[in-house]
Amino acid sequence: MTTTTTGPAPGPASASAAPVYSANYKRLVLILLVTAYTFNFIDRTIIATLGQPIKDSLHITDTQLGALGGLYFALLYTFLGIPIARWAERASRVNIITAAIVIWSGFTALCGTAANFATLAAYRFGVGVGEAGLSPPAHSLISDYYEPKQRASALSVYSFGIPLGTMLGAILGGQIAQAFGWRMAFTVVGLPGLLIAVALKALVKEPPRGHSEPFSPPLGEMSQSDRGGLAAGQGPHPTVAEDVSAEVPGAPPVSFGEEFRQMGAVIRTLFGKWPVLNMVLGVTLVSFGGYGGGQFAPPYFLRAFHLNYAQVGLIIGLVAGFSQGIGTLIGGPITDRMSKLGARWYSLVPAIGVTLAYPFIVGIYTAGTWQAAATFMLFPGILSYVYLGPTFGVVQNMAPTHQRATAAAILFFFLNLVALGGGPLFTGWLIDHFSAFHYAHAGANTVWDAVSGFAGSHPADFQAACPGGKAAAGADAAAKAACSGALVLGTRHGVIVAYAFGLWGALHYLIGSFGIGKAMAEARAARGEAD
């Protein structure tokens, strides 16, 4: 049912039938959250687009480059996510998101002033601090605006910020770096986020907790803040579309024992139920390969095809962004529709999509021309990015209303610490070793050669001979060709191996399909919801 009013409900009898917020207003909220997530990913992933000029300017290794794109961002990002999420269960999620945008945008702009690797690393830590405050409260907001059977679709739309941000970061970063240098690119993409913070604070209302649930949660399942609000005369489903942005009146003080109990309950939901655990492992491993391989996609096109920054930004941004955007948007609706045949499709859709994508990924990194590589790039995103909506939908549907921000935060803690923190770092480390191997063994050109000779490679020797992956100034043509050729092969094989982790993730999704329907039904029953 759709209404265009957001005022007080006519009375108790009709309060449960009419939604508090209109469909158009909910779309506006979702658009603003997508926009925030887009800037989140622009600022998070632009390091990949600017990686090669940063490497050339600061003379760093690919392991260091991977740390800038992954570990140094992910450490505080992951560890702060859970306390921020617990805060979001009690306080205004809109205020938390607004402050987070201001922090990460400011630190992104500061990255352009970094004079050395250590300073740039410190600013990347700051970006991670800010970005920790977006997705857990945003997932919780979306779950309060959209009913359970619409959540996978709504979260797919929200997740569209990932490919859209990656696309815009690649295009804008490449164009600005080509014209004005990598430092200016950080400044230009960082500052506009402040405008999004202002718009979100001005236009988005804090919805009542559990607003979109079929039934109110039993008193025993409410959070302390919900019980405090009930004691103050507020029902768990207020019938007035007012901004409840402050902490709930009457809420008891924070208890560390209660906080750990709540987090323990969420951990048991995500890691103690076999099918849900396998979906968590699936999204983590797929993301590990995606973050790792994606970090070095722009450098590979620069190294292998000798294009300029603007050209690579357009290719990666338009082709990969288009492909990933389609996959992200269709993943939720396809799963919502297929789930009518059985809830196991929440897990099967990602398993099938990720598996079918890998041969095209290999095609990208073995193609002889950039045109052929770009053609292969059209398909992996469409196939593999369907995993986002159904995975996030399952996590939100498994969690009680008062634990959804926490559920998202714990998922992101595990996923990002392993995948975002480890994927780019691991891939850069692989590339350094593989490049060193190929530099020392000019006739061994296959990925199997690189893997089998991994233990005998010496990255320090390669860095000494080819600082930053390039021959020293004044080197002859043969030395330049040796450095360049080894770096191209090392990057190619490192990325191919990194993306193979997605196949491991697809296996876990397949395993999770056995029993996920039963687990979701039990979660609905525990909340007292009708099917």
Residue with structure tokens 């593989």? 434
Report which of 364, 378, 387, 372 is spatially closest to residue 503, judged by C-alpha positions: 387
How far is residue 386's CA from residue 70's CA, in Å, rounded to a whole number? 23
Report which of 185, 232, 235 is spatially closest to residue 210, judged by C-alpha positions: 235
How far is residue 298's CA from residue 312's CA, in Å, rounded to a whole number? 6
Listed in sequence order, the residues at least 6 apart from 57 whose beta carbon sits closer than 8 Å to its beta carbon are 182
pLDDT at residue 246, as a whole number: 42
CB atoms within 10 A of CB 187: 16
In 3-state terms, the chain is what percent helix, strand and coil (to 5)? 75, 0, 25
What spatial distance separates the first Cα and last Cα of the chain, rounded to whole Å?
Answer: 18
How far is residue 185's CA from residue 450's CA, in Å, rounded to a whole number? 35
Task: Record the tokens describing residue 16, joined without a space.
Answer: 């449960």
| pLDDT band at residue 30 under the 50/70/90 scheme | very high
| 251 within 8 A of 383, measured Cβ to Cβ | no
Listed in sequence order, the residues at least 6 apart from 508 whose beta carbon sits closer than 8 Å to its beta carbon are 278, 279, 281, 282, 285
- DSSP state, residue 468: G
Mean pLDDT, rounded, for 319-345: 85
Task: Record the tokens describing residue 133, joined without a space.
Answer: 């405050």
Give me the count of residues in the chain.
531
How far is residue 489's CA from residue 437's CA, in Å, rounded to a whole number? 10
**Whether pLDDT at 297 is above 60:** yes
Task: Record the tokens describing residue 348, joined without a space.
Answer: 């099967």
How far is residue 490's CA from residue 273's CA, in Å, rounded to a whole number? 40
Collapsed DSSP state (helix, strand, coil) of residue 17: coil
Task: Record the tokens describing residue 143, joined without a space.
Answer: 């779950």
User: How many whole angstroms from its chain centre is CA 174?
Assistant: 21
pLDDT at residue 90, as a whole number: 81
How far is residue 161's CA from residue 34's CA, in Å, rounded to a whole number? 5
Q: Which of 265-279, 296-310, 384-398, 480-494 is least confident?
A: 384-398
Report which of 385, 326, 323 is spatially closest to residue 352, judged by C-alpha positions: 385
Tens-digit pLDDT profile for residues 359-383:
999 999 999 999 999 999 999 999 9
Q: Which of 17-26, 283-292, 476-485 is least confident?
A: 17-26
Collapsed DSSP state (helix, strand, coil) of residue 238: coil
How far is residue 13's CA from residue 362's CA, in Å, rounded to a whole number? 60
Tens-digit pLDDT profile for residues 173-228:
889 988 898 999 999 988 888 999 999 999 988 887 777 666 544 434 444 444 44
Domain boundaries, the chain: 20-212+257-430+500-526
Mean pLDDT, rounded, for 420-446: 91
pLDDT at residue 288, as a whole number: 95
**Whether pLDDT at 250 is above 50:** no
How far is residue 477's CA from residue 462's CA, in Å, rounded to a whole number? 17
| 144 within 8 A of 208, measured Cβ to Cβ | yes
Listed in sequence order, the residues at least 6 apart from 220 whose beta carbon sits closer than 8 Å to its beta carbon are none
Diameter of the chain measured on Cα atoms: 85
pLDDT at residue 12, as a whole number: 36
Q: Is the pTM of this model over 0.75?
A: no
Name the CATH code of domain 20-212+257-430+500-526 (choices 1.10.3720.10, 3.40.50.1820, 3.40.109.10, 1.20.1250.20): 1.20.1250.20
How far is residue 416's CA from residue 439's CA, in Å, rounded to a whole number? 33
Report which of 280, 293, 277 is spatially closest to residue 411, judged by C-alpha positions: 280
Give one DSSP letter per residue of 38-69, joined into a string: HHHHHHHHHHHHTHHHHHHHHT--HHHHHHHH
